[in-house]
């Protein structure tokens, strides 16, 4: 690993080139104006250096035209930079449809990553080339930050909430993963690598690393162990809302507000159920905070996602599930009539 | 009459100065020798003596913070964390940041040069509240003592940014003591700002209208607005951290439903305007230097004056640019990015106006001017790299890396400290009545400039390559640039030591200074060097515009 | 306002014992003091502002918990305290007025009355705090939210409410604890005949400070005690 050019990290994602282009533009603008000022300043200082002690120069005090010019032109240039940077930022914020999902938990001082198929890694992440990968991340303790310079990607990982980021790798290789938010003693040791593989190699890796339980299956087990099914029945007779088909759809709350049932909504509903109560239901759900850790929460989220809803299953997700030949069951489709 | 020689060059006496600047013989009694003894210093209410009390304290804190910097750069010579342990390293960069930001950069120019010069520049006998001024110094010392106590009893390792929940829940170090030290010190800033605002509003000499004020005064007025309105917010923010640690009054703990990002908003609401506290006074100094050493009024004086106010006001609206990847909403990021670009414009305007001042001027290359020119160049680079950080899509990559470290050191060291040193040299004759040795001073200025660039320019590259901040150990491929940076730091350190030596030397052995060795405009140069305690024998009256180097009738606006 | 005008009028005041050497005249000195006190009050607003901002955000996020938590504050005591503090502002204003008229004994009496009322306020606050301790409503390990009829997750933000309650009223009380000795000092100076119709600036400045402390409470009371009470 390492950079071909000593000034830039390698470009290994769809965003990297775009970020480097903006960087190059800014360098050009900076060099231009920097040299302009430096050369002008030094040449004035030389050209107009004091030749006699009592020399009194011409008092040229101002120029409206110049003030307007050197306010308006920089303003125009920075507005271009602003729009360019904003456009790039929005592209980074918009997750492409049907990404491969990965769940990340940061804790002092390691990164724990989980694929939907149940493959777990510590301080490493294997992903395929050419597929958008969406990271859903949280921290178990303090704020960390997931930083992959080769992808030009960084996102703070905050306890108590989910942070989302995505990337699409464009070349195979192994790249640095750093924690970029100071988190205590071993902050500089909270590093690892992201390995990008060709699709076939990636499938092989997945099969080799399959634990036998996909994330959603583990979530289903938790769902049963914690007796969630007592209230969240699929026959609409339960005290809690039916969860099939909920994920990704808008939900109307008792307050009249409408929210989208995304990962953060599902997580919050488990740890802080009375925060957003669905219309037509009573706020009787107890909290599971302390009973489920962040990894367990991610498994439950994956399970609820697997129960159907908007854009939950697609080519990206399919890549992450273990190959049919493996001994593990595929992520459950709509389970009906299985003792619920 | 006594003719004094110009800045220590051994040249023959020059012809008498024009009438406006003719000087009486220097008085035998001045503010330095009017009384001797520790009590006369520790109980003084003379703004000039208080300025010197501050000079001693901030210099001490600067070398303490600098010692930590030396250790940091020594550790970073090798990729492995082998000089000190991780805990120690984390305390080193934390203490370096806290001491340099709160106990050096923020007070330095206002409390030393501002305190000394503002009353004299406006023709007053003292600040509005002299005893409050002394109290400010004692509060500073008390706050520094708390912080040094935190240091010697084991240090603090949260980073100068004290992010929750690390600072509130997880750190095992002396967060409370350090937080209280900064909290106490904040009141020193607030009272100084209050004093300056009232003084500038109410105590200007007859004829001294707002638009005849020196730009140094305008800059300190704008800075004082930030002192008064911004500092209380960091005070309450650090207090909440202390309360959470001491009394479990927790509002940032996610386990209780608290939001760690709220801490960041509250922290940066002050800490961004704080950087303008650090740079605006230096810009004020640079305006004085550029004007004197071009022997012309600053080009676009009213625009430069107003730009200080614009920076202060807009500077309160951009704090979220420290939080683009924190989880803050994308739309909030958009607004903060936009405003951050706007705040760059008044700074750019100043740079252009300073440069234009030299056009057809009479430019002298004395040490203060070397620092001023160095400031303009390095501040320009620092400011331009700020555009990189304000730009959302690019900031995602470079935030929390050495790119940011390089950016702010360009502004604070390449900018603020160069401005401070330039001002110390410029007003040294006024403050001490002595001239410093010009050759040594120029050598030191060049060493500082060279050492500074070698230290910090490689860090831009390191940052873009991906080296994160606050890293004790780093991957091997970053070593070459780190070694360059550490080499530069040793040169920079030498550059800072030299003034310590020759300035102290000059206090005893330097040639005596005249009232106006630079032949500069400004009320401070119309009184003796050093001044008498009351600053002026008679109340000055101001009949002319600022920087009136040539008759008003000759002034041209093109 | 300009010192030029004052310079002409300062004849009699030039040697006024209360005129300090760096001001041209007593009116100039007083205007400076007044501006200084207003600047100080501006920074106090920003100081409390951080807590008000935190309060606003958490009240929006956890309104239900805030309502329930607020119910357990002692409304009658809070209301009495509000009345007490407003009265103390009245007595303070009367004291300033008396000092402007040069009425020494009245000044001292009004100031002492202000201190008494302020002390009543602090006493009632102490009673309230003690009550919170006894009902396990102080944030920390001993915090129990059963009394609030909040279950599970809604109980956690109750700690945030009480953290803000103690921080905000505590900070306010600290300002009173600082203010009372100041008023006592001013009362002593008045008793010694220090003030006159020409010079009573310290009394006025203390008055400004006290009124500010009162106004902060006038915001704190409804924000902390009266959430959702109209339901």
| Chain C residues with beta carbon closer than 8 angstroms to that of B206 | 2-4, 7
Rounded to the nearest angstrom, the gap between the alpha carbon of residue A301 and the centroid of all alpha carbons in its chain is 16
Rounded to a whole number of angstroms, the distance from the CA of C158 to the nearest CA of chain A is 13
Instruction: Copy the structure tokens of residue A276.
Output: 């957003």
Flag whether residue A246 sits within 8 Å of chain B, measured between CB atoms: no
Report the share of chain B in percent with pLDDT over 70.
95
Model confidence pLDDT, tens digit, residues B390-441:
999 999 999 999 999 999 999 999 999 999 999 999 999 999 999 999 999 9
Rounded to a whole number of angstroms, the distance from the CA of C154 to the nearest CA of chain A is 7
Query: Alpha-carbon distance B390 to B382, whole Å?
Result: 12
Residue ranges of chain B whose pLDDT lies below 70: 1-26
* pLDDT for residue C225: 95
Rounded to the nearest angstrom, the gap between the alpha carbon of residue B449 and the centroid of all alpha carbons in its chain is 17
| Chain C residues with beta carbon closer than 8 angstroms to that of B201 | 35
Query: Alpha-carbon distance C123 to C116, whole Å?
Result: 10
DSSP per position, A78-99: HHHHHHHHHHHHHHHHSPPSSP
* Cβ-based neighbours of C50, under 8 Å, separated by 6 or more: B232, B233, B236, B237, B240, B266, B269
Indicate the DSSP class of residue B103: I
Among B243, B46, B208, smallest CA distance to B121 is for: B208
Q: Contact at 8 Å (CB) between B424 and B285?
A: no
Strands A153-157 and A144-148: antiparallel
Asked whether the predicted pLDDT for residue A319 surpasses 70, the reply is no
Interface list for B 376-405 with A (CB within 8 A):
376-377, 380-381, 384-385, 387-388, 390-397, 399-401
Among A138, A143, A141, smallest CA distance to A179 is for: A143
CATH number, domain C33-225, options 1.20.120.80, 3.20.20.60, 1.10.10.10, 1.10.1660.10? 1.20.120.80
Handedness of CA C199, C201, C206, C210 (dihedral sign): positive
**Widest pairwise Cα distance in chain C:** 74
CB contact under 8 A, A289 and C153: yes
* pLDDT for residue C118: 97
CB contact under 8 A, A37 and B377: yes
DSSP per position, A12-48: -BTTHHHHHHHHHHHHHHHHHHHHHHHHHHHHHHHHT
Domains in chain C: boundaries: 33-225
Q: Contact at 8 Å (CB) between C58 and C164?
A: yes
CB contact under 8 A, A188 and B163: no
* pLDDT for residue A34: 96
Q: Which chains neighbour A (Cβ–Cβ under 8 Å, 3 or more pairs)? A: B, C
Among B218, B338, B320, B332, smallest CA distance to B271 is for: B320
Interface list for C 128-167 with B (CB within 8 A):
139-141, 153, 156-157, 159-160, 163-164, 166-167
Rounded to the nearest angstrom, the gap between the alpha carbon of residue C8 and the centroid of all alpha carbons in its chain is 39
pTM for this model (two decimals): 0.90
Among A198, A196, A208, A250, smallest CA distance to A10 is for: A196
Handedness of CA B116, B120, B125, B128 (dihedral sign): negative
Among C90, C86, C92, C119, smallest CA distance to C107 is for: C92
* pLDDT for residue A314: 41
Q: In this structure, how many other beta carbons lie within 10 angstroms of the beta carbon of residue B20? A: 10
CB contact under 8 A, A54 and B14: yes
Note every long-range contact of C70-75, with CB atoms under 8 Å and residues 24 or more positions apart, other chains counting.
C70/C161, C70/C224, C70/C225, C70/C226, C70/C227, C70/C228, C70/C229, C71/C148, C72/C135, C72/C137, C72/C147, C72/C148, C73/C128, C73/C165, C73/C224, C73/C225, C74/C128, C74/C131, C75/C225, C75/C226, C75/C229
Among B469, B495, B494, smallest CA distance to B482 is for: B469
* pLDDT for residue C152: 62
Model confidence pLDDT, tens digit, residues B356-390:
999 999 999 999 999 999 999 999 999 999 999 99
Report the share of chain A in percent with pLDDT over 70.
88
* Cβ-based neighbours of C100, under 8 Å, separated by 6 or more: C197, C200, C204
DSSP per position, B457-521: HHHHHHHHHTPBTT-SS--GGGHHHHHHHHHHHHHHHHHHHHHHHHHHHHHHHSPBP-S-TT---
Measure CB to CB from residue A85 to each of B294, B296, B394 and give the nearest one.
B394
Is residue B187 helix, strand or coil?
helix
Strands A132-139 and A100-107: parallel
Query: Alpha-carbon distance A241 to A249, whole Å?
Result: 13
Query: Alpha-carbon distance C9 to A247, whole Å?
Result: 80
Residue ranges of chain C whose pLDDT lies below 70: 1-14, 151-154, 231
Among B285, B268, B275, smallest CA distance to B214 is for: B285
Among all residues of chain A, which has the CA nearest to that of B157? Answer: A184
Rounded to a whole number of angstroms, the distance from the CA of A257 to the nearest CA of chain C is 14
Flag whether residue A238 sits within 8 Å of chain C, measured between CB atoms: no
Superfamily assignment of B50-283+392-546 in CATH?
Cytochrome c oxidase-like, subunit I domain (1.20.210.10)
Among B229, B352, B306, B287, smallest CA distance to B522 is for: B287
Rounded to a whole number of angstroms, the distance from the CA of B405 to the nearest CA of chain A is 13
Is residue B352 helix, strand or coil?
helix
Rounded to a whole number of angstroms, the distance from the CA of C174 to the nearest CA of chain B is 13
Q: H or E segment at B549? A: none
CB contact under 8 A, A286 and C151: yes
CB contact under 8 A, B236 and C153: no
CB contact under 8 A, B387 and A26: yes
Domains of chain A from N-terminus onward: 215-320 (1.10.760.10)
Flag whether residue C141 sits within 8 Å of chain A, measured between CB atoms: no
Measure CB to CB from residue C21 to each of B125, B232, B243 and give the nearest one.
B125
Flag whether residue C212 sits within 8 Å of chain B, measured between CB atoms: no
Rounded to a whole number of angstroms, the distance from the CA of B249 to the nearest CA of chain C is 4
Q: Contact at 8 Å (CB) between A161 and A264?
A: yes
* pLDDT for residue A208: 79
Measure CB to CB from residue A37 to each of B334, B355, B472 and give the nearest one.
B355
How does residue A22 score in pLDDT terms, banded at 50, 70 and 90? very high
Domains in chain B: boundaries: 50-283+392-546
Among B270, B246, B84, smallest CA distance to B160 is for: B270
Handedness of CA B445, B450, B452, B453 (dihedral sign): positive
- The ipTM (two decimal places) reads 0.92
Interface list for A 283-302 with B (CB within 8 A):
289
Among B184, B161, B166, smallest CA distance to B265 is for: B161
Rounded to the nearest angstrom, the gap between the alpha carbon of residue C136 and the centroid of all alpha carbons in its chain is 28
Query: Alpha-carbon distance B555 to A58, whole Å?
Result: 8
Q: Contact at 8 Å (CB) between C205 and C185?
A: no
Q: Which residue in this structure is represented by tokens 């040249």?
A: B11
Rounded to a whole number of angstroms, the distance from the CA of C153 to the nearest CA of chain A is 5
Question: How buried is B43 (Cβ within 10 angstroms: 0-12 exposed, 13-18 middle, 19+ buried)?
Answer: exposed
């Amino acid at each position: 690993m390492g950079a071909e050019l000593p000034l830039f990290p390698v470009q290994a994602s769809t965003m990297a080139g775009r970020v480097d282009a903006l960087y190059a533009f800014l360098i050009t603008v900076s060099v231009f104006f920097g040299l302009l000022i430096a050369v002008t300043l030094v040449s004035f200082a030389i050209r107009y250096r004091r030749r006699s002690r009592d020399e009194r120069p011409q008092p040229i005090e101002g120029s409206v035209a110049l003030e307007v010019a050197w306010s308006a032109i920089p303003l125009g240039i920075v507005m271009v930079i602003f729009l360019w940077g904003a456009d790039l930022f929005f592209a980074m914020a918009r997750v492409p449809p049907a990404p491969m999902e990965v769940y990340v938990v940061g804790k002092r001082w390691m990164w724990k990553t989980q694929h939907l198929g149940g493959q777990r890694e510590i301080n490493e992440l294997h992903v395929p080339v050419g597929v958008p990968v969406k990271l859903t991340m949280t921290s178990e303790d303090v704020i960390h930050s997931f930083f992959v310079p080769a992808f030009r990607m960084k996102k703070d990982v905050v306890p108590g909430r989910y942070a989302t980021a995505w990337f699409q790798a464009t070349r195979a290789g192994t790249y640095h993963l750093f924690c970029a938010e100071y988190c205590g003693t071993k902050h500089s040791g909270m590093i690892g690598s992201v390995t990008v593989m060709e699709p076939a190699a990636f499938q092989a890796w997945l099969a080799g690393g399959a634990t036998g339980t996909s994330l959603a299956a583990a979530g289903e087990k938790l769902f049963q162990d914690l007796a969630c099914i007592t209230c969240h029945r699929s026959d609409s007779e339960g005290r809690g809302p039916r969860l099939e088909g909920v994920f990704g759809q808008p939900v109307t709350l008792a307050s009249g507000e409408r929210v989208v049932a995304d990962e953060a909504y599902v997580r919050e509903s488990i740890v802080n159920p009375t925060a957003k109560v669905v219309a037509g239901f009573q706020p009787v759900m107890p909290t599971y905070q302390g009973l489920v850790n962040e990894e367990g929460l991610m498994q439950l989220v994956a399970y609820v996602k697997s129960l159907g809803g908007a854009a939950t299953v697609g080519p990206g997700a399919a890549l992450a599930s273990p190959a049919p030949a493996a001994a593990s069951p595929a992520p459950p489709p709509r389970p009906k009539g299985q003792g619920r | 009459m006594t003719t004094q020689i110009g800045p220590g060059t051994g040249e023959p006496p020059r012809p008498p100065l024009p009438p406006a600047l003719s000087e009486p013989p220097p008085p035998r009694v001045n503010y330095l020798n009017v009384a001797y003894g520790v009590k006369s210093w520790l109980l003084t209410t003379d703004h000039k003596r208080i300025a010197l009390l501050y000079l001693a304290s901030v210099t001490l804190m600067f070398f303490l913070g600098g010692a930590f910097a030396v250790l940091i750069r020594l550790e970073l010579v090798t990729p492995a964390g082998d000089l000190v342990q991780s805990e120690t390293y984390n305390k080193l960069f934390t203490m370096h940041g806290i001491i340099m930001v709160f106990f050096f950069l923020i007070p330095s120019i206002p409390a030393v040069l501002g305190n000394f010069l503002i009353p004299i520049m406006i023709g007053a006998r003292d600040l509005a509240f002299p005893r409050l001024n002394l109290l400010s110094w004692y509060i500073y010392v008390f706050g520094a003592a708390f912080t040094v106590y935190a240091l010697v009893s084991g240090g603090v390792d949260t980073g100068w940014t004290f992010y929750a929940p690390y600072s509130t829940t997880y750190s095992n170090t002396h967060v409370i003591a350090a937080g209280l030290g900064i909290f106490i010190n904040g009141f020193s800033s607030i009272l100084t700002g209050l004093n300056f605002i009232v003084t500038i509003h109410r105590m200007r000499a007859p004829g001294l209208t707002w638009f005849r004020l020196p730009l140094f005064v305008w800059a300190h007025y704008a800075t004082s607005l930030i002192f008064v309105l911004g500092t209380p917010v960091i005070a309450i923010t650090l207090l909440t951290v202390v309360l959470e640690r001491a009394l479990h009054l927790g509002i940032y703990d996610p386990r209780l439903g608290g939001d760690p990002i709220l801490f960041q908003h509250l922290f940066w609401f002050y800490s961004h305007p704080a950087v303008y506290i650090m740079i605006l006074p230096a810009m004020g100094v640079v305006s004085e230097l550029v004007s004197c050493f071009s022997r012309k009024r600053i080009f676009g004086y009213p625009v430069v004056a107003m730009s200080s106010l614009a920076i202060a006001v807009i500077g309160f609206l951009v704090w979220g640019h420290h939080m683009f990847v924190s989880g803050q909403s994308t739309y909030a990021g958009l607004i903060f990015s936009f405003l951050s670009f706007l705040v760059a414009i008044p700074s750019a305007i100043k740079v252009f106006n300073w440069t234009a001042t030299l056009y057809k001027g009479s430019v002298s290359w004395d040490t203060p001017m070397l620092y001023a020119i160095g400031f303009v160049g390095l501040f320009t680079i620092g400011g331009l790299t700020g555009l990189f950080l304000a730009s959302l899509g690019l900031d995602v990559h470079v935030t929390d890396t050495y790119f940011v470290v390089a950016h702010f050191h360009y502004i604070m060291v390449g900018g603020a400290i160069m401005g401070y040193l330039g001002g110390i040299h410029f007003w040294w004759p006024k403050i001490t009545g002595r001239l410093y040795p010009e050759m040594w001073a120029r050598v030191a200025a060049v060493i500082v400039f060279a050492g500074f660039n070698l230290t910090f320019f490689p860090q831009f590259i390191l940052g873009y390559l991906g080296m994160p901040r606050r890293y004790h150990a780093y991957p091997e491929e970053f070593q070459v640039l780190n070694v360059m940076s550490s080499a530069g730091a040793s040169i920079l350190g030498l550059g800072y030591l030299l003034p310590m030596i020759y300035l102290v030397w000059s206090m005893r052995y330097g040639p005596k200074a005249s009232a106006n060795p630079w032949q500069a405009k400004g009320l401070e140069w119309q009184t003796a060097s050093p001044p008498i305690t009351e600053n002026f024998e008679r109340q000055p009256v101001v009949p002319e515009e600022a920087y009136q180097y040539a008759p008003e009738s000759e002034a041209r606006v093109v | 306002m300009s010192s030029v005008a004052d310079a002409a009028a300062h004849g009699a005041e030039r040697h006024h014992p209360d005129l300090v050497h760096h001001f041209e005249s007593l009116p100039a000195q007083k205007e400076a003091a007044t501006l200084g006190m207003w600047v100080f009050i501006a920074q106090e607003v920003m100081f409390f502002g951080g807590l008000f901002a935190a309060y606003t955000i958490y009240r929006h996020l956890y309104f239900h918990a805030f309502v329930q938590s607020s119910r357990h504050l002692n409304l009658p005591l809070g209301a009495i305290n509000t009345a007490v503090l407003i009265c103390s502002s009245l007595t303070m204003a009367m004291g300033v007025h008396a000092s402007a008229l040069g009425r020494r004994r009245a000044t001292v009496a009004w100031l002492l009355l202000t201190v008494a009322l302020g002390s009543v306020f602090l006493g009632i606050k102490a009673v309230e705090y003690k009550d919170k301790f006894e009902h396990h409503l102080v944030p920390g390990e001993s915090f129990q939210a059963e009394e609030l009829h909040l279950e599970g997750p809604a109980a956690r933000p109750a700690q945030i409410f009480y953290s803000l309650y103690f921080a905000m009223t505590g900070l306010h009380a600290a300002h009173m604890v600082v203010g009372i000795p100041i008023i006592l000092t001013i009362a002593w100076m008045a008793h010694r005949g220090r003030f006159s119709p020409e010079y009573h600036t310290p009394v006025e400045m203390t008055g400004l400070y006290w009124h500010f402390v009162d106004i902060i409470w006038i915001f704190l009371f409804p924000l902390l005690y009266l959430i959702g009470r109209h339901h």
